[in-house]
Structure 1
Amino acid sequence: MGYPDPDVPWRLDMFYTAVGLRIEERSGLMTSPMMEMKPMGASDDCFTASGWSLCRDIHRFGFETFRKLPEVGTKLVDDAPAAIEAYRDVARA
């Protein structure tokens, strides 16, 4: 499969940065996406988001339509308060 087009990791980073900023606005807690790109096999651990492995699926990052982009982002932002509450000490560390 090779390395992805350089725009793909940039779009992925911009998407999660925007989601993090919105979560920060709502929660008052500082956020930032944490991603590290490694070739397959360089680590046994692969970043996962929404149930897919970044190591294998970064080539497919995108949305079928522009309407899907804010829908997915809004869902992530809306789900954040439950995660913050469930891991209150970690979120405030």
Structure 2
Amino acid sequence: MSDLNSPFMRMLITRIRAEDSFGAWENKQDAALLSEYIVTKEERRAIPIIGDPDPEIIDRIDYFYQAVALAIEEKSGQMAVPILKLNHEGFGRLFVIVGRLVVLAKSMRDVHRFGFEDMAALNQEGCRAVDNAIKIIKQFPDAAAA
């Protein structure tokens, strides 16, 4: 079962809802908003191995890591900034920086296939990224505060 009340999931839902400036998703359930992140094994197999990501997928990735950064901020009390740089083929790098400290660094590839098997996997990956970042901040507090 996924925990829609985890700091990460709350931030992701809030971040997605922030894009709804006209209220079209006001009555949409949180789980329905997050359904875009679910890509089953069968769906993933149907996606070509080589492909260019469309803007919606890039936005989805961006929202995911913005939610990670927001949850890091909530837990640490320090500003976290996600930096995502992708080329047109879906390859690139992702960093989350707190102060002068890189708390998350990830190589991105095949982003056109970005997604999670279920809500629990989505929550687990987001929470793991947040928890690992918090450990790094605690390990290097001076760099995080700089």
Question: Structures share a fold, TM > 0.5?
Answer: yes
Q: Does 1:72 align with 2:72?
A: no
Q: Is the 8 A contact 2:53 2:88 kept in 1?
A: no
In structure 2, do the counterparts of structure 1 residues 51 and 60 end up closer, same or farther at CA, with 3 Å as the change threshold?
farther
Q: CA RMSD in A?
A: 2.5
Aligned-partner SS, 1:85:
helix
Q: Does 1:53 align with 2:107?
A: yes
Aligned length: 88
Q: Which runs of 5+ in 1 are unaligned?
A: 41-45
The TM-score, its normalising length taken from structure 1, stands at: 0.76
Q: Which runs of 5+ in 2 are unaligned?
A: 1-49, 96-103
Q: Give the % identical residues.
A: 41
Q: Deviations for 1:24-61, whole angstroms, at most 9, x for unmatched residues?
A: 01100001211122246xxxxx415788631x221221
Q: 1:34 aligns with which of 70, 83, 90?
A: 83
Greater strand proportion? 2
Instruction: Look at both structures and tell me which one has the larger radius of gyration over its CA atoms.
Output: 2
